[in-house]
Structure 1
């Protein structure tokens, strides 16, 4: 069928398939019965075609680092199945996920959106996720291919990575997604790789991906992430997104006519687009692109289970789990207590069905006579609190708010991210909007108004210009680098008085530079001062136990910018210190997208890392704190004691954050725990670490053979739950070469198994290793090689806790070809 369609297509029609029709759909060819299909973000939910901050509600699942902390591929596969159903509810045939870039540093803004610092763990979870999604007829899109480990200047930065590091650390998740999961789509990254944009990188897209790995799906650009006509098509980029086209269409037809692009290259790219449409069943039944909310009890339960499974108990002196019976005064304190921080920022955002805050979850769990007191203490928001209330938005043609409004609508939140405008009469590149609301403060005093805008905007209070986001506008760090740095201004307001707040917005002129978006966000807040801190300390002093919720939110952990440091923002460290000084029973619950420094660690009794676990946050955290379920997570990323202990933080700006358009991955393969091992740096918490509510005894590791066989060997470890509660234990298997002529990590994760055991129950972890697991990538021969000799297989509870060792022998040198499909 596909050949017949291709034969009947004109060149122009073939070319039309190679760019999106609009922001979210591919181009149809109606005369040949080729339908359009819709794609949707993202990794922790299916948003549909709505705005990043609005649109039809969807189930909000845990972010990827929380999934990484589960070390549970079977559970992640179940999430993939659920996400496929969510994608269908949004009329989508393609899910733009998973994200498998590596945790190179602790500062990457999208650290939360990626699974791990280790390629084996990342690959195992990605394969499971893809199999879950694609088993339901929805295509998965693995991203970002490749070298996108930082958000700084990501649209132009060249990630300069040696081939060995690429082959051993950064490419294996993509490789296994192709070879094991048959992923249907790959998304190229924004950045350059060793000087060449990945969207026009022949070695990456054709030699490695298609010729070596045998990939037969489509390669699409990240949004606005392609930069050329002939170069991108010739390199193997099939689909330019979003539409309408910028570099294809008539430009590509002309490139074919001039001989810059061979017609057979266009035909093969069009074939792959048609094959994708066929694989998702769109030829059999044209997709219904309409959207609806799908709120299922099974999804709710799975999200809650995943939240607890990924929760990592970092410290516990016995205070946890808390007994509900007899629990007296409970202080629930901190900026993340009453706010439901359920997801990170950027393109992973969705409009969640609901958000259960920790305070709400704890109140439901302690619905008896327990006394619960709440205090904020301090703020941790990066941007001024977004405006909330009744809002009217009037839209005008042109940039000067002239003439009658084309359309008007109501809103309830002062944030607008316009993928699609409310009327077809409006031109996204030439419109304006008047956003009107009123604000009545609860307290008198200085209030801060803030605004950030992609486009130009001014904010007025009672007719007076307060925030100027128009004159002198320059790109900053918001909305993926398309908006200015938030502009702020203090105004004295009187309690109970009603103030008129008006934002006048206009789209900016179209630019050829990078991403062009239209968005505005405005807010107002009364800054918290010493009184708020004293209130939190007073409530803590009079409590039997303090649950202190601190961390970050999606304004910090977000696409488009990296973190400034690895400390808790605002006065949160001070809050912990002052609360701990008046109460000996403090439990800190962290919500971050990666590691943080903990100078206060010795002053609290327990620390629980919850990440951003989705819409069931409050229920999941209460389940863990009160022992209804165990904290099942183990760290997918090393938590260093200080930022300078990280492998990328050498002090050389060429290594991080980059300089003169290049960032050098000088650490090579020594990322995460590999770096800590090589330099003898003790981490705060090692890779794979996590506590539970029970205890286990381990038997000695046993190997099926003392010699590595061609098809691999099996290592087994018996584990017994010797405690009085059910729980899970993670068995990790590392490989250590005993002799090597090249520099290699001391040990490398090669397999893992998670066992859930009842009290007194014994289970067996069965772990398979193969010859490639003993190997390294040889730059000289361009092959994976393992030298004959002895290797140790280390059975470990985490990277710093080796329980037993098995020594095996590889009788002969082993060489693995890059096209080997048996990995």
Structure 2
């Protein structure tokens, strides 16, 4: 059928398929009954075609780093099935996920959106995710292809690295997606690879991906991430997103007519788009229904299970799990206690059906008694606190708020992101909006008003201009780098008074900086006071236990912005230190999208790394705190003692954050635990680390052979739960070469088994190693090579806790050649 359609299509119709129709849909060819389909973000939910904020509600699953911490491909596959069901409620056929870039620096703003620092763990989870999604007829889109490990200047930066590092660290998840999971779609990254945009990189998209790996699906650009007509099509980019087209359409038709772009190249790209439509069943069922918010009980339960499965118990002096019946008073403190931090920021955001805060989850677990006392104590938000309540928005034609109101709406908070205009008659380059709400301060004091906008805006309080977000406007660090940095102004407000807050917003004039989005966020807050912290300390002192829920939130862990450091923001470290000094029974619950430094670690009784666990956050956290669920997670990323211990933090700006448009991956293979193995620097918590509420005994491992054969080697270990409750244990297998012609990591993860073992019972971890697992990539030989000689199989509970080693011999050298030519050298 596809070939018949292609033969009937004109050149113009084939070209039309190669760019989106709008922000979320492809182009239909009505003459030939070729339907359009919708795509949707993202990794932890299915948002649909609405705004990045607000819109139709959806189930919010845990962030990817928490999924990485689960080390549980079977559960991730189940999550993929559920996400496909969610996509169908939004009438979407393509899910723009998973994100599989590697945890390189610990500061990447999208660290939370990626699984791990290790390519093997990332590959296993990505393949399971894709298999789950695509089993339901929804396409998964693995991203971002490739070497997109930082958000700094991400739309222009060149990631410069050698081919061996690329193939051994950064490409394996994509290779597994193609060869094992059969991914139907891949998204190119914003950055350049060795100086060439990935969206038009012929070596990457054609010679490696299609010709060497045999990929037959589509490659789409990241949104506004394609740059050319001829080079992108010839390079191998099938679909320019979003639409309407900027570089294709008539430009591409002309390029074909003039012989610049071969007609067969366009036809092949159009064929891949049609193949995608066929795979997702669009020809049989072309209808696109209205988006729905369906809150499924089974998805609620899965999200809660996933949340606990990914939580990592980093420290426990015996205080956890807490005995509900033995507690008279609990202090639940910190900026994330009553505020449900369920997800990171950027395109991963969705409008969750609901959000359970840790405070709510703890109170529910204790049957709503008055034993729980709460104070926020301090703040951790990067931007001023949004105003929540009824916020009214009036839209006008033109940029001067004149004439009749074209459209009126209300929102629940003071943040807006208009991808599409709320009324079709509004011109996105020539409209204005007036936003009004009311604010009643909780106490008298000097309040901070903040405003950030992509577009021009001014904030008024009772008619007085307070914040000017127009004069001197310049791009800053918000809204993917397309909005200004937040403008802050202090103003005294009085308790008991109610203030009218009005923001006048207008679109950028035509041609101003080429901005592509329209967005606005404003807020007001009181700074953290000494008195607030002192009150929290006094409350903690009088309680049986103090639970501090601290960390970051989606304004820090977000697309478009890297973190400034690995410290807890605001005065949170001070809060932890002061509470721990008066109450030795202090439990810290961390919510971050990656590692943090912990100068306070020795002073607290327990630490749980909870990540961003989705809409059931509070319930999952309470389940772990009170022992209703096992803390099932193990770290998918090394937590270094300090930021400078990270291999990307060399002190040379060329390595991080980049210089003159280039970031050099000079650490090569030494990422995460590979780096710590090589330099001997002890991490705060090693890769794969995590404690349990029970104890385990491991048997001596058994190998099917000490000689590597064509069928590989199988290893078994019995793991017995010697405690009095069920628990989870992780068995990791690393391969360690004894000698090599090329410098290699000390050891590398090649297999793992996550076991859930009832009390007093035994389970068997079954692992296997193939000859490819012994290999490295030799760029000169153009082959994967496993050298003849001696190896060790390392059985470990984490990267530093080695339980056993087994000898392994490869009698003769093994080679597997590659067909792609060498990766081109770096160009400016």
TM-score (norm 2): 0.98
Alpha-carbon distance between aligned partners in 1 of 2:442 and 2:666, rounded to the nearest angstrom: 54
Q: Does 1:438 align with 2:425?
A: no
Alpha-carbon distance between aligned partners in 2 of 1:785 and 1:495, rounded to the nearest angstrom: 72
Q: Which residue of 1 aligns with 2:421?
A: 421
Contact map agreement 1:312 1:690 (CA 8 A) in 2? yes
Contact map agreement 2:694 2:722 (CA 8 A) in 1? yes
Alpha-carbon distance between aligned partners in 1 of 2:537 and 2:517, rounded to the nearest angstrom: 44
Contact map agreement 2:18 2:269 (CA 8 A) in 1? yes
C-alpha spacing 1:512/1:807, structure 2 compared with 1 (3 Å): farther
Q: Which residue of 2 aligns with 1:60?
A: 60
Q: Which residue of 1 aligns with 2:503?
A: 503
Matches within 5 A, 1:416-815: 416-511=416-511, 516-815=516-815
Question: Shift of residue 398 of structure 1?
Answer: 2.0
Q: Secondary structure at the match of 1:331?
A: strand
Q: Which residue of 2 aligns with 1:373?
A: 373
Alpha-carbon distance between aligned partners in 1 of 2:532 and 2:672, rounded to the nearest angstrom: 38
Contact map agreement 1:224 1:515 (CA 8 A) in 2? no
Q: Which residue of 2 aligns with 1:309?
A: 309
1:397-441, CA deviations, whole angstroms, 9 ceiling, x for partnerless residues? Answer: 222223222222222211110011111101112211111222222
Aligned structure 1 segments of 4 or more residues deviating by more than 3 angstroms: 509-515
Question: Shift of residue 816 of structure 1?
Answer: 1.4
Alpha-carbon distance between aligned partners in 2 of 1:514 and 1:426, rounded to the nearest angstrom: 19
Contact map agreement 1:92 1:289 (CA 8 A) in 2? no
Alpha-carbon distance between aligned partners in 2 of 1:355 and 1:500, rounded to the nearest angstrom: 28
Question: Shift of residue 324 of structure 1?
Answer: 0.7
Question: Shift of residue 368 of structure 1?
Answer: 6.5
Q: Secondary structure at the match of 2:436?
A: strand
Q: Secondary structure at the match of 1:208?
A: helix
1:603-627, CA deviations, whole angstroms, 9 ceiling, x for partnerless residues? Answer: 0010000000000011101110101
Alpha-carbon distance between aligned partners in 1 of 2:678 and 2:661, rounded to the nearest angstrom: 29
Contact map agreement 2:80 2:129 (CA 8 A) in 1? yes
Say what the alpha-carbon RMSD is for the aligned residues: 1.1
Question: Shift of residue 819 of structure 1?
Answer: 6.7
Q: Which residue of 2 aligns with 1:270?
A: 270
Unaligned 5+ residue runs, structure 1?
A: none
Alpha-carbon distance between aligned partners in 1 of 2:706 and 2:388, rounded to the nearest angstrom: 66
Contact map agreement 2:123 2:174 (CA 8 A) in 1? yes
Q: Secondary structure at the match of 2:325?
A: coil
Q: Does 1:341 align with 2:323?
A: no
Alpha-carbon distance between aligned partners in 1 of 2:216 and 2:23, rounded to the nearest angstrom: 24
Matches within 5 A, 1:248-287: 248-287=248-287
1:639-678, CA deviations, whole angstroms, 9 ceiling, x for partnerless residues? Answer: 0000000000000000000000000000001100000000
Alpha-carbon distance between aligned partners in 2 of 1:159 and 1:511, rounded to the nearest angstrom: 30
Contact map agreement 1:225 1:514 (CA 8 A) in 2? no
Q: Secondary structure at the match of 2:205?
A: helix
C-alpha spacing 1:263/1:368, structure 2 compared with 1 (3 Å): closer
Q: Secondary structure at the match of 1:577?
A: helix
1:420-465, CA deviations, whole angstroms, 9 ceiling, x for partnerless residues? Answer: 1111101112211111222222322211110100011111112211
1:450-501, CA deviations, whole angstroms, 9 ceiling, x for partnerless residues? Answer: 0100011111112211111101100001010000000011111122222221
TM-score (norm 1): 0.99
Question: Shift of residue 110 of structure 1?
Answer: 0.2
After TM superposition, the structure 1 stretch with the greater mean CA deviation from structure 2, 550-559 or 488-497, is 488-497
Alpha-carbon distance between aligned partners in 1 of 2:511 and 2:749, rounded to the nearest angstrom: 46
1:760-795, CA deviations, whole angstroms, 9 ceiling, x for partnerless residues? Answer: 211111111111100111010121101100100001
Contact map agreement 1:639 1:683 (CA 8 A) in 2? yes
Unaligned 5+ residue runs, structure 2?
A: 821-828
Q: Secondary structure at the match of 1:325?
A: helix
Q: Secondary structure at the match of 2:533?
A: helix
Q: Secondary structure at the match of 2:102?
A: coil
Matches within 5 A, 1:171-190: 171-190=171-190
Alpha-carbon distance between aligned partners in 1 of 2:294 and 2:595, rounded to the nearest angstrom: 34
C-alpha spacing 1:28/1:470, structure 2 compared with 1 (3 Å): same
Question: Shift of residue 576 of structure 1?
Answer: 0.4
Q: Does 1:295 align with 2:257?
A: no
Contact map agreement 1:155 1:514 (CA 8 A) in 2? no
